[in-house]
Amino acid sequence: MTECAGFGAANTSPAAARAFVRRTLRAWGLTGLAENAELIVSELVTNAVKAAYRADQGRADPHAVNVELHADEKALRIAVHDTNTNRPVPQVVDEDAEGGRGLLIVEVCSARWDVVLNPAHGKTVWAELDLCAAEMA
């Protein structure tokens, strides 16, 4: 099963992406994964919005961020594409910092994650949630 949605480089995109994940997982009968999946997509889309906006030199492309959900019998993959070719790097932040923990949250909430760079088109950051782990929870 695969579903895709496009979002602009806007402050409202993370919330819209969470709603897309929630609706899709409900339709697929995978609501047990919704909490972690929504958290992951929120962090990845937030980063993608920032990256896409900078990549466009101050002008946001209305279709700069794309989310793809793919589920098979083993895993749910959340892939977020943006037009920036810079690899995201986990930050080291002070405990009282208000941001900078997005990729650390993705790492903790997912079974695995990585980045695929495409110099001509940007990058895709993906994370997977194991379906068998969700069934045991």
Pairing relationship of beta strands 122-130 and 65-71 according to DSSP bridges = unpaired
The residue extents of the domains of the chain are 2-136
Instruction: Give residue 28's identity as a one-letter amino acid code.
Output: W
Pairing relationship of beta strands 112-118 and 65-71 according to DSSP bridges = unpaired
In this prediction the pTM is 0.83
pLDDT in tens, 100-133: 566 788 888 899 999 999 888 889 999 999 987 5
pLDDT in tens, 66-108: 999 999 999 999 999 998 888 877 666 666 656 556 678 888 8
**CATH no. for 2-136:** 3.30.565.10
Buried b (16+ CB within 10 A) or exposed e, 62-74: eebbbbebebeee
